[in-house]
């Protein structure tokens, strides 16, 4: 008879443990929403995409951005305010594209604007990298800089 009591006590313990874990499980994080769109940039211009959510604490962001319509070489700097990237590109990364390139980035990160201010991600078209030319080398074949770049961003899955 004693053995049945021990088994019953262990079963009760595991039931209580499962119930405790269920109630102690963290709630799902809030979801941040990117105000997406398409922007064609000239050199020196920026495409900024506001993010809502994260005003009262961390919120998960899942978005997709595509850079294309490059007709020469172009360098863009990725920026973000109140955005902590968990995937490439990182804030401050310089993205270099050549004519005809199209790049897609799946942005996964956390937005936390609880300290105040507006959350956003942005791409700054900073120009073109200087061609690699050495003394005595003909540089007339170097690709020229792009006159414009198109950036499209949207929420992932939408």
Q: Residues 114-119: what's their mean pLDDT? A: 91
pLDDT tens, 68-93? 999 888 999 999 999 999 999 999 99
What pTM does this model have?
A: 0.75
120 vs 64: CA distance, rounded Å: 14
Domains (ranges, CATH) in the chain? 30-131+145-155 (2.60.120)
Residue 129 or 156, more confident: 156
Question: Nearest CA to 78 among 59, 57, 53, 97?
Answer: 97
pLDDT tens, 103-116? 999 999 999 999 88
């Amino acid at each position: 008879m004693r053995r049945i009591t021990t088994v019953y006590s262990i079963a009760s313990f595991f039931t209580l443990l499962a119930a405790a874990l269920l109630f102690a499980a963290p709630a799902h994080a809030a979801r941040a929403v990117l105000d997406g769109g398409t922007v064609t940039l000239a050199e020196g211009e920026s495409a900024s995409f506001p993010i809502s959510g994260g005003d009262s604490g961390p919120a998960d962001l899942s978005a997709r951005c595509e850079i294309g319509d490059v007709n020469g070489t172009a360098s863009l700097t990725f920026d973000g305010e109140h955005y902590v990237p968990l995937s490439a590109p990182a804030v401050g990364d310089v993205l270099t594209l050549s004519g005809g390139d199209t790049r897609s980035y799946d942005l996964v990160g956390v937005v936390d604007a609880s300290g105040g201010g507006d959350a956003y991600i942005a791409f700054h078209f900073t120009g073109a990298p200087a061609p690699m030319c050495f003394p005595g080398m003909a540089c007339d074949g170097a690709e020229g800089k792009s006159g414009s770049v198109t950036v499209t961003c949207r929420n992932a899955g939408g």
